[in-house]
Each structure stands twice: as C-alpha cells, then as structure tokens.
Structure 1
Amino acid sequence: MDIAALLTSAGINITVCVVLFSFYSVLRKQPSNVNVYFGRRLASQQAKHIDLCLERFVPSPSWILKAWETSEDEIMAVGGLDAVVFVRILVFSIRVFFIAAVICTILVLPVNYHGQDRIHKNIPFESLEVFTIENVKEGSKWLWAHCLALYVITLSACTLLYFEYKSINHLRLLNIFGSPPNPSHFTILVRSIPSSSEESYCQTVKRFFSHYHARTYLSHQMVYKTGTVQKLKDDAEHMCKVIRDVSVRKTCKSSFGPCCYPGFARNSFKKISSEMDSMQGKTAGYNNMHLETGKKDCAAAFVFFKSRYAALMAAHVMQTSNPMLWVTDAAPEPHDVYWSNIRIPYRQLWLRNIATVVASIAFMLVFLIPVTFVQGLTQLDKLQKMLPFLTGILKEKLVNRLVTGYLPSVILVLFLYAVPPMMLFFSVVEGSISRSARKKSACCKVLYFTIWNVFFVNVFTGSVINQLSVFSSVTDLPAQLAKAVPAQSTFFTTYVLSSGWASLACEIMQFFPLLCNIVERYILRHKEDALNGNLSFPYYTEVPRILLFGFLGFTCAILAPLMLPFLLIYFFLAYLVYRNQIINVYITKYDSGGQFWPIAHNTTIFSLILAQLIALGVFGLKTSTVASGFTVPLLIGTLLFHQYCRKRFLPVFKSNSAQILIDMDLRDEHSGRMEEIYEQLRSTYNQPGVTEHASCNHECCGLHLGKASGESSEDMEKGLRKEITQKNRPRPVQRSLSLSSDKAVLGVN
C-alpha cells in the first residue's frame, strides 16, 4: 500500500465525518428530533427551547462548545462515576498518544524513512513500508532512537496511569461515603438455600439468620419465579388442580350422595374466601396458600441487616462448612438487579461458564473466515498469483487504491458489528446477578475478541498469505510476530480511519433511533413522541473500541509512527462526541462504581508489555544488542509497576472498606436516620411481575423489619381472611407514567 491509498481512505472517512457531523448539527435543532438527540434532558424535562428560525437549518458547532465546557462534576451528576471513568480513559489516551506522536514524529519517523540507502520517490507514491521500522537496515546504530522512544512512551504511560488510578480510586471512595444511603450496603444476596419438606424457603432463611446473625439480622425478601412461562405454568397447574377436585367431588356425590360433604356448593369454582366460615376451612386455606407459595419461591433471597458493616461481613464470610450451600454475595443496587439470573440454581453456574467459554471460542474460530478474506484484499499481489482472473480488474489505480486502502477495514468493521450482541448474550447465559456485571463481562469478552481477531489473527493470517506457509513450531512465534506486525501496521492505520472516525459519526447521528422516530411520525402517523429515554450508555461496546485503538497505538508506535496522528485525532473527536452523548442522550439507570477502569489499566499494561516484546524481537532481528539489552529492564519495570497497582488500588474496586462503612453507620446513628433507612428497605427490591402480597417477606414468615411476630392464632386467621379477600378483589390497572409530548410542557416550540 502506498501513501495515495492511505490518503484515499483518509479522504473518504473525512468526507463522511464532515457530512454526518453537519447533518447532526441541523437535525438536533428540529423539534421533531428532540426525543432522539435529547433523550436524557427530555426525561428530566430540561429540553432546549428551539425557535422557528433560519438558524435551525444551518450547521453550527454549538454542540462542540457545550461538550467542551461541561465540567467533570456535571458529568458525575448526569452519568455517574462510570461516565467519569470513561471520559478519563479518553483523556489518558489523548495525553499519552500526544507524547507518543511528538517523540515518534521527531525522532523515529526520520530514522525509519532514511533507514536504507535508496532513492526515494515523491511522497504520495511512496510505499507505507518506507515509514516503518522494516526500512531500517540490520545492525543500524540508529535503533537506539526506537529504544529511547519506547522508554519515553512507557514511562509516560505508567506515570499517567498511576495518577489516574489514584484519582479514580479517590473518586470512588468519595462516591461511596458522600452518596445518600444505598440500600445495597445493608443487603446481601443469598443463593443455594437448602430445601426442606417441613418448611418453605422463606421460613428456612428466617430460622438460619435469626439464629446465626441474631444481633444484626433485620429482615429478608424472597425471590420468586416470575415471567410469562412461569405464569402459564402456574395457571396450567391451577386448572389441573381444579379439574381434579371437580372430578373427585362428582365421583363422591354419585357414590355416596350429596350428604357426603355437608354444605358443599354445586359451583366447584367457588372462591376460597367462602370456605373460611369454619375453622377447618381457615386452616386448610392457610396451608394451601403456603404450599402454593412454596412452589413459586426460589432458593434465593435478599437479606437485610441493621448495619453496613454487618452486611459486609455476612457477604464475605462462608456461612456453612459446605461452600455450595448458603452462598452469599454483596447485593447489587435495586435498579441494577438482573432478576432472571438470580433465579438460576447456583449449581448450574459452573456449567454455564464452561458453555460460554466453549461458545466464545467457537465463535472466534468461525470469525477466522472473514478475517482471512480481509487480509487477502490487503495483499493484492499475492492474491493475484492465487487468483489470476482478478488481474485485469485490479490493475486500475483507483480500484487498487480503493480495495487496498478502504475496503478491507470496512468489511472487517461490518463483521465486527455482530460481536457485541453475541457477547452480551453469552454474558446473560453466564449468570451475572446484576446488569452492570453483565455489561462488564460482555465488555471483557468483546475486548478479548477484538484484540484477538483484529490484531493477532490479522497479523498471523497476513503472514501466512504473504509466505504461503505456516509456522514450523511454537518457538518461531516471537520471531514471526516481530516480522509480521510491522508488515501489517499499514492495515491497522486504515482500520483506525474506517472503524474509528466513521464509528464516531454514526454514534452521534443515532441512525437507529432516528429511523424509528421517522417511521413513528411520518409513516405510522403517531402524534405522540416515541420517547427513546430508555437508552443507556453502551459501555460494553465503546470501552473495548477505545481500548483496542489504544492497544494498536502502543504496539505500533515505534514500528509505524505514521498511525499516531490519525489515532490522536480519533481520541480528540471521541472526547467531544461521547461527552455530548452523555450530557444529552443516554440515561444512567445504574452505576457500577467505576469498575471499567481496572479493565482499562490491565489492557494498557498488556499493550505496553506486548509492545516491548515485539520491540525486543525486532531489535533481535536487526542484530542490535544494545537496544535489546536496554529493553529487558523496561519490561521488568512495567511488570513490577503493574503488581504495585494491583496491591495498592485494585482491592478498593473489589470490596468496600470496613472503615468507611462503619463511619457511615455511626454518622446515620447519630443523626437518627437508621429507622428511616430500615423503613425504606421494605420497598427497595421490588421484583417485577410479583404482586405486593408475594413480594412482602413478613407475610410468610411472621416477621416485620426484624421484630418477631406476637400474633395469636385468631389474629393470624383474621389477617389471613383479609389477605385472601384482597387477593381475590379486582385490582386496578396500573398505568406507567410517561412524559407529556406537548411541546409547550417540554419547552420546545
């Protein structure tokens, strides 16, 4: 590939970005699109006032200024700590790659360009390999420049990583200590509750925690089987039970006459409330209700404690000698609970983990087909030898530049769009108990997948196509990696252009919500706005994309420094685009507390170590013993730095500290807020699809906020009569609250 092909790809992507950014600046001003581009502000009734004037149809950079001027405190208030961490990842990338671009452009790029004694062509017709480390001849004394640049990049990255890790660590602690009382701090999730034929799960939980955590146990709430399938199953079981009772009673009538059951009515579907006129009927109804409840509840429950410290200890201590029973975890936030996965039996989780690993590996193997095809397009000279009938078409200069410079990366990007939904599905099957844990697991899977397929598979398949051979042994892999990565660096440069710049333009345009809005308004003729306020920030797709580009930048910085300016432009545009989306579009429903930063830190360290290993292999191939010798201490120092950060900062992200939680407990006790917090715990974890009777834990245990019930049998019967009467009473239809679409109410004309 030559410079002209790279410029062709850059020109196409620049044109696409300019056109889409201009369209966005116009479309965001239209009142009909306010629900697309101001979903978060619309949900909080803070939509921008838009007048009917010519300015609506003229592109303007006002959104750029607004995104630039927004402070970190505003980002925290709008998007939570996860949004701040995401922006910090972009800021870190801008800083470190600005340093890398300066040092490599000044020091490394001239050495690469003049590395061989050759006559250079005009710059547009020069091959991109001339600007890579491949152009440096063996035994060159100028390889110290690459080693010095590697030192500067590594030291800068580690320094910035340390201060960012320390700052985010401090923000996380402040977020925990300064936030309002979080119900999850008082709650643990208990799974794998042992079953008993004598008592229900609810009674088992009460008995266990009342005995072993008597001083700190407050209350609990069972998790029930819900959903459409479970409802159909329960209805079918109920109908079978009714039909069986009818058949038994008819048989008894025909054999013994109507005197067999005194007072038995002819209507077999009579409600149970009519049978409560006698003590026998009351007792039977009470037992039947508990049997029915026992069928619906699961071996899982949320257990509430009187203090945050007690919940912390209960969550991290093994409850019994059998680690497969009474498994406890820290409870997620109420809006973060993934209810369907909580009902999964705990013993199935290890099987699900194995299944997802096998499925992910199989998906990676299937993905080798499009990656190999893409690599064939990047090396047309080798492809023409294998497929001679393409020679005539590919001789055209424009076709050659378009195929080699733009088409391969576009095809790979299109195939990669199927990866995040598939990995999110695997994370659901895996059994994550919270939505944030599901997104975090999907983020790691997408990151591993893209790094493997975009980098390693492209490098090795490109080497195979280039040499028409495979590696002879595993020991040849480092040497082959040192040869193949510089050769494939030109493809990675075009990938940054196609996947990076174009993805930002598509992100800010919001094509799918925009298309849905157009269909709703102009085809289906719906007058009310189809609010898109349910959009949450897709961290599991955007974090891996940012980290992948950082990975490519670190590994190719000294090998192909021509990539760094394009990469720096991408990070700067991403900083503006994503800040705008956080402010205006996406709604924060739950927050993981900055759990994406350790992923970013580990990926950066891995990128630095791999870049040093590749540089070590290249220096060995170029027979530069001095550069190779100085790279080894750098590799050891990076590993030691990573180990220090793991010991110093990572534990804060894994668990809350007892010191902070005890201080928060003392503060709430002195202010007299504990009773208010206890009352709020009753209605915190409301399971969707479960009625108030079924979700209220003290109904089945005789326990109300940790106070033992002193009801007599007569009081219990009266309460039971009231419960069943309310259960059979028709319930009003609940209507979900929605924002008015009136433009006067929303402040949009």
Structure 2
Amino acid sequence: MAINILSAITFLLAFAFLRLQPINDRVYFPKWYLKGARESPSHGGAFVRKFVNLDMRSYLKVLSWMPAALKMPEDELISHAGLDSAVYLRIYLIGLKIFAPITVLAFIILVPVNWTNSSLESSKVQHSDIDKLSISNIPVGSKRFAAHLAMAYVFTFWTCYVLLREYEIVATMRLRFLASEKRRPDQFTVLVRNIPPDPDESIGELVEHFFLVNHPDHYLTHQVVYNANKLDKMVKEKKKMQNWLDYYQLKYERNSSQRPTTKTGFLGCFGSKVDAIEYYTSEIERIEKECPHWREDLRLRSALEQLKTFLHQSANQIPRTIGEAIPMKATFFITYIMVDGWAGVAGEILRLKPLIIFHLKNFFLVKTEKDREEAMDPGSIGFDSNEPQIQLYFLLGLVYAVIINVYNQEYESAAAFWPSVHGRIIVALIVSQLLLLGLLSTKGAGQSTPVLLVLPVVTFYFYKYCKNRYEPAFVEYPLQDAMRKDTLERAREPGFDLKGYLMNAYIHPVFKGDEDDEKFSISDEPEAEQVLVATKRQSRRNTPVPSKYNGSESPSLPEIVNDQRL
C-alpha cells in the first residue's frame, strides 16, 4: 500500500514538473493546439530555453493546477468538455459517496467483530494478518454473523439511496444540457436495420421511397452505412504518399535550383533514384485508380476451460463455491485495486506513453506541420473501456465491502450511458448479496438465508423503480421541448441548410476528406416543390414524392436521417 501511494505521488510530481517544460507543451495541451488556441512557447535568449523552463518562479507554483482543477464548477466543466466528461467524473464521486461511509462502518463494527476471534489461529490453514480482518476468522455457527447480516442491509440501503439521488441529478443535468446545447446530427437521426431486400429497387431507393411516402413531413435524407474497412489500408497509404509529396514540394520551394530525389526501394534507402515529386504524384494517381479485393478475416476465440468446468456443476452450488473461494482471493483483489487504482490512475495523468511516442515521432518522423499534429493526437476518453473498468472497482468494492487539457472527445452522448452505469452497480450489489449468502451457508449460518434472500428482491424492485421513473429521460426527448428548440433555431437561422448539415454526418471516415470538416453553409434557396415520382415498382407508380432516381432533386446519399426531435 505504501509503495502504491508513493508511486501515485511520484507520478503527480513528475507530471507537475514535465508539463512546465516547453518541449512537452504539445503532449500535455494537445487539445488547445488542435483548436488553434495555443501556440508553441517562444523564448528568447539561450538555446536551452526552447527545451527547459528556466523560470524558477513557475516551479514554486508547480502544484497550482490541482486547486484549479478541483474547484472548477460543474457547469464550466460541462461547457468546456461536455456532459459526458462531467458525468464520467461523477462515477468516481459515486464511488466515494458509497464506499467512504461503508469503510467507516466496516472499521467501526465489522473489523472488531472479525479481529477478536481466533478461528484462523486454531486452524491449520496458512493465513496472514490481513486475513484476521475478514469474515473467515469467525468460527462456524457463531452468532457474530448477525453483524454482517445487519451491515448487508445497511450497505444495500445506503447504496440504493446514493444511486437514487445520482440518477435524479444526472437526469436533470441531461435535460438541461439537451435544452441548451447546439444542434447535433444525432438529434435528427434514426437508425434503421434489417431492411428487407426488394427485387425491383436497391436499398437506397427502397428506403428513400418508403420514408418520403409514409413520413414526408419529417424525412430529409438518408445514408446507407457502407462496410468500407477494406479501403482503410489504401487510404492510409495514400495519406502517407501525400505527406511525402507535401514534404518534397516544400523542400523544392525552399531550394528551387535542385529537384528533390528519392529511392523507390525499402525505406527510401534502396532501389533506383527518381524525381521525388513526380514519383509520389504518380503513386497517388495509381492508388486512386486501384480497387481493393481483400477478404475479411474472422477469428473466433475459444472459451476458457475453467469457465466450462465451473458451469458444469449444479446451479445451486455456484454461490456456495464462489463464497468459499472469495475469502481466499481477498488479498489479490485488494492488491489489484491498489496497484491499478492508485498507480494506474495517477500514471494516466503523467501520459508517459504519449510523451515518449511524441518525442520519438517528432525527432525521426515529423516532416510537415500535419505530421506534428498527428504526432500529438490527444485521443479521447474511451467510455466503452474505462467505464466498465470503474464498474469492476464497484463490483470488487461491494463484494469486499484528465479531461481539461488533453482529451478531445469524438462524440457527445449527453450522458446516455448513465442507465448502464446504474444497472451495473445494481448487478454488483446483487452479486455481493448472493455471494454473502453462499459464504454464510459454508459457515453454518443457513438460518440467515430467508433474511438475506429479501435483499436481492428489494434491490431488483429498486432497479425497476428507477428504470421506470428516470430512464425515459435518457431514451426519449419531450415533444414540447423539441418543438420549442426547433422554433428558436428556425427564427435565429431561417436559411440554415439542415439537409447539407446532415448529409455527411455519418459518412465512413474512409470516404471523408479534410475539406469535409468545414462548416456547412447557409442556403437561402426555397425548398423544391413536390413532384410526381415514377418508381420502378408497378404498385407505386405516380406517388407524389420527389426522388433522385427519376431526375428530380431529392436526398442524394444512400442510416436513415430523420427529424427525431419532431
């Protein structure tokens, strides 16, 4: 424990020192560079100032970032990093709210109850001093198990109370955020799957015709989601060639007296020497003409043999088996949480891996400013991987009783993942109750089974109550609020080209170019009048809807985009 706490403090101090050095500025503030809000620090005088901060006064405030980060108001954090980031931090706060009182009660009540026994000392089982703090030190059939039974109720009700309060707070935050934020493509989008094939029309024709006929007042355009992963390698190769072409063109502009040359072999060190600009131009043209014919490779992983053996036993023996095994693994999981929770999270703020990779790329690979931007790629918080990791801490905790300057979020779900967080904590709570039930059955406290069986039932009904009361705020949007927001947007921007705004929102990254990131323009042209459409199907001829397939102007790109807020 002392080693992990010392490691965490060391990581924090190293971060506080490294972030002050000019050479690391792009590593610890990449988000601001990409937004154009920060430039490389310029220092006159000694050459060393470009790499090392020689201002001694800045080192006196080396930890000044901590109070500023801790005191940042939640509204400011939402405005700066989005609601997802703010709610993600609230998951950590929930852990503190749940486990801080539980820890205090456990030390005051459960630790003395467990410690004052001598069951482990009288047995021949090898144990450590920390095992004396666990329930395994209570003898079989002891009345002291009543303390654990009572604390199970206290822990359950406290956890449910905290979850109820947080669910209400996050739901309110989400509704306020949706009402105040600017438009996003997903607010106008409906995903349609399993479209039946049609012998007369393509998927794009079928989708467009269906929505224009059945939802003419809400449909704008649609977009077929392509499986373009096969093109990814070719697109990366083209970008690489384009980057080399930009580099040699820039080199030629600086010295036009000599044309740059390169070798066509491995790493540009072997092969025949050719004109670099002409070579990379021809390579780009070749890639644009080629068509890939790769096949996808599917690989399946086998199940663990241990899981197979575990599941072959009787179902009613599973809680008992786990209940016997868990006390033996308590030391391992405590060590895991200390290492991953203290040193791991503190190591994340140091960004050691991005720091090393950036300087290696900057020294060996960076040729253009675009290379430098790619080298300092900030990445984003992987909610799909980080959030389950936190839930693992909740599970282990219940069983065992850098956002501001770095990450540039790729999407904003407006805390849509919160019901999943709530559900997983509930699952962890129920698992802890069932395991306690199995553990007490091995300790000769079977008479407590009816009392403990009440807890999972109560916890499940609490989950259903929260789901019915609060989850609609995360899956639906009030029609009245949507109409009010649409009316305000039309009044503020009467000529906004919503169709153009949605057109490229869900194009596969392979098909996107750099110019697609620009803002959409305002269109002052009135919408085209509806015309008769002659479809390919005899039963749908002369339907009064526009279509691109008969020459009239209509949605062009084959996911279905629909005005979801109306």
TM-score where L is the length of structure 1: 0.53
Which of 466, 469, 472 is 1:645 aligned to? Answer: 466
What is the CA–CA distance in structure 1 between the aligned matches of 2:190 and 2:473, rounded to whole Å?
19
Greater mean deviation of Cα atoms: 176-185 or 81-90? 176-185
Distance in structure 2 (CA, Å) of the matches to 1:536 and 1:228: 25
The answer as to whether partners of 2:31 and 2:407 remain within 8 angstroms in 1 is yes
**Paired amino acid for 1:707:** E
Equivalence for 1:514: 355
Mapped pair 1:535 → 2:379: yes
- 2:157 corresponds in structure 1 to 155
For 1:691 and 1:480, the matched residues in 2 are separated by 54
Q: Which amino acid aligns with 2:75?
A: D
| Aligned residue identity for 2:483 | I
1:551 to 395, 413, 420: 395
Question: 1:138–1:623: 8 Å Cα contact kept in structure 2?
Answer: yes
After TM superposition, the structure 1 = structure 2 runs for residues 209-358 of structure 1, keeping only pairs within 5 Å, are 209-220=211-222, 229=231
- Give a deviation string over 1:177-235, Cα, whole Å, max 9, x none: 222233433343445666667666555444333322234434445666767749989xx
Q: 1:662 to 1:143 in 2, by over 3 A?
A: same
CA contact (8 A) 1:96 1:156 kept: yes
| CA offset digits 1:604-649 (Å, max 9, x no partner) | 1111111111222233333336644432322221111011112122
Matches within 5 A, 1:310-709: 359=300, 362=302, 365=304, 473-523=314-364, 529-530=372-373, 531-557=375-401, 581-624=402-445, 627-668=448-489, 671=491, 673=493, 675-676=495-496, 678=498, 680-681=500-501, 684-685=504-505, 687=507, 688=509, 690=511, 705=527, 707-708=529-530
**CA apart distance, 1:677:** 5.3
Which range moves more in the overlay, 36-45 or 519-528? 519-528
Match of 1:331 in 2: none
SS of residue matched to 2:190:
strand
The one of 9, 29, 43 equivalent to 2:34 is 43
Secondary structure at the aligned position of 1:76 is classed as helix
Question: 2:119·2:138 contact (CA, 8 Å) conserved in 1?
Answer: no
Q: Provide the rounded CA distance (Å) in 2 between the counterparts of 1:481 and 1:213.
A: 54
1:77 counterpart residue number? 79
Identity of aligned residues (%): 28
| Partner residue, 1:13 | 4
Question: Shift of the alpha carbon at 1:495?
Answer: 1.0
Cα 1:164/1:520, change in 2 over 3 Å: same
Cα distance in 1 for partners of 2:82, 2:496 equals 25
Partner residue of 1:23 out of 14, 30, 36: 14
Contact 1:166 1:649 in 2 (8 A): yes
**Judging changes above 3 Å, is the alpha-carbon distance between structure 1 residues 664 and 62 closer, same or farther for their aligned structure 2 residues?**
same
Query: Of residues 67, 91, 94 in structure 2, which corresponds to 1:92?
Result: 94
Instruction: List runs of 5+ in structure 2 lacking aligned partners.
Output: 43-52, 236-290, 517-524, 533-550, 552-566
Question: Aligned-pair RMSD on alpha carbons?
Answer: 4.0
Conserved? CA contact 2:84–2:412, under 8 Å:
yes
Q: CA deviation at 1:601?
A: 1.0
Contact 2:141-2:444 at 8 Å conserved across structures: yes
Q: Is the 8 A contact 1:533 1:587 kept in 2?
A: no
Give 1:548 deviation, angstroms.
0.6
- Cα contact 2:120–2:132 (8 A) shared by 1: no
Q: Deviations over 1:321-370 (max 9, x none)?
A: xxxxxxxxxxxxxxxxxxxxxxxxxxx9xxx9xx89xx46x2x528x6xx
Q: Contact 1:612–1:635 at 8 Å: present in 2 too?
A: yes
The residue type paired with residue 496 of structure 2 is: E
Contact 1:116 1:135 in 2 (8 A): yes
Cα separation, 2, equivalents of 1:88 and 1:118: 40
For this pair of structures, how many residues does the alignment match?
A: 446
* Amino acid in structure 1 at the alignment position of 2:354: P
Change (3 A) 1:28 1:194: same
Contact 1:21 1:505 in 2 (8 A): yes
**Structure 2 CA distance for partners of 1:199 and 1:516, relative to 1, 3 Å:** same
Q: Distance in 1 between matches of 2:234 and 2:22?
A: 44
Distance 2:232 2:60 in 1: 54
Aligned residues of 1:183 and 1:684 also touching (Cα < 8 A)? no
Which residue identity lines up with residue 365 of structure 1 in the other structure?
L
State the match for 1:101 in structure 2. Answer: 103
Q: 1:537 Cα deviation (Å)?
A: 1.1
Secondary structure (helix, strand or coil) at the match of 1:583 reads coil
**Structure 1 pair 556–194 and aligned structure 2 pair: CA distance change class (3 A):** closer
Residue 68 of structure 1: how far off its partner (Å): 0.7
Deviation at 1:143, TM superposition (A): 1.9
In 1, Cα distance between equivalents of 2:512 and 2:364: 39
Change (3 A) 1:522 1:197: same
Q: Distance in 2 between matches of 1:611 and 1:141?
A: 21
Offset at 1:520? Answer: 3.0
Q: Is the Cα–Cα contact under 8 Å of residues 75 and 582 in structure 1 kept in the other structure?
A: no
Matched AA of 1:681: Y
Residues 476 and 603 of structure 1: is their aligned pair in 2 closer, same or farther, counting only changes over 3 Å?
Answer: same
Confirm whether residue 170 of structure 1 aligns to residue 172 of structure 2: yes
Structure 1, 197-206 or 630-639: larger mean CA deviation = 197-206
Contact 1:35 1:533 in 2 (8 A): no
Supply the distance in 2 between the matched residues of 1:202 and 1:617 (Cα, whole angstroms).
56
Q: 1:146 to 1:208 in 2, by over 3 A?
A: closer
| 1:403-447 deviations in Å (ceiling 9; x for gaps) | xxxxxxxxxxxxxxxxxxxxxxxxxxxxxxxxxxxxxxxxxxxxx
- Tell me the distance in 2 between the aligned counterparts of 1:682 and 1:164: 34
8 Å contact 1:217–1:706 — kept in the other structure? no
Offset, 1:78 = 2.4
Q: Distance in 1 between matches of 2:67 and 2:470?
A: 35
Supply the distance in 1 between the matched residues of 2:324 and 2:229 (Cα, whole angstroms): 56
Note the C-alpha offset of 1:666.
4.5
Over 3 Å counting, the alpha-carbon distance change for 1:533 and 1:707 in structure 2 is farther
CA offset at residue 676 of structure 1? 2.3
- Following superposition, the deviation at residue 71 of structure 1 comes to 1.6
| 3-state SS in 1 of match to 2:403 | helix
- The offset of 1:525, in angstroms, is 7.2
Q: 8 Å contact 1:13–1:497 — kept in the other structure?
A: yes
Q: Distance in 1 between matches of 2:62 and 2:213?
A: 67
For 2:13, the aligned partner's letter is S
Preserved contact between residue 120 and residue 137 of structure 2 (Cα < 8 Å): no
Q: CA deviation at 1:556?
A: 1.2
When residues 58 and 655 of structure 1 are mapped into structure 2, their CA distance, relative to the original with a 3 A threshold, is same
Asked which structure has the greater CA Rg, the reply is: 1
SS of 2:444 mapped into structure 1: coil
Q: CA, structure 1 residues 199+610, in 2 after alignment: closer, same or farther (shift >3 Å)?
A: closer
1:671-712 per-position Cα deviation (integer Å, ceiling 9, x unaligned): 3646525365365537355599xx9xxxxxxx99553479xx
Q: For residue 612 of structure 1, what is the amino acid of its counterpart?
A: Q
Cα separation, partners in 2 of 1:210 and 1:538, compared to 1, 3 Å:
closer
Q: Structure 1 regions of 5+ residues with no counterpart?
A: 1-9, 234-295, 297-347, 369-451, 462-469, 558-580, 696-702, 711-719, 721-749
- Per the alignment, residue 716 of structure 1 pairs with none
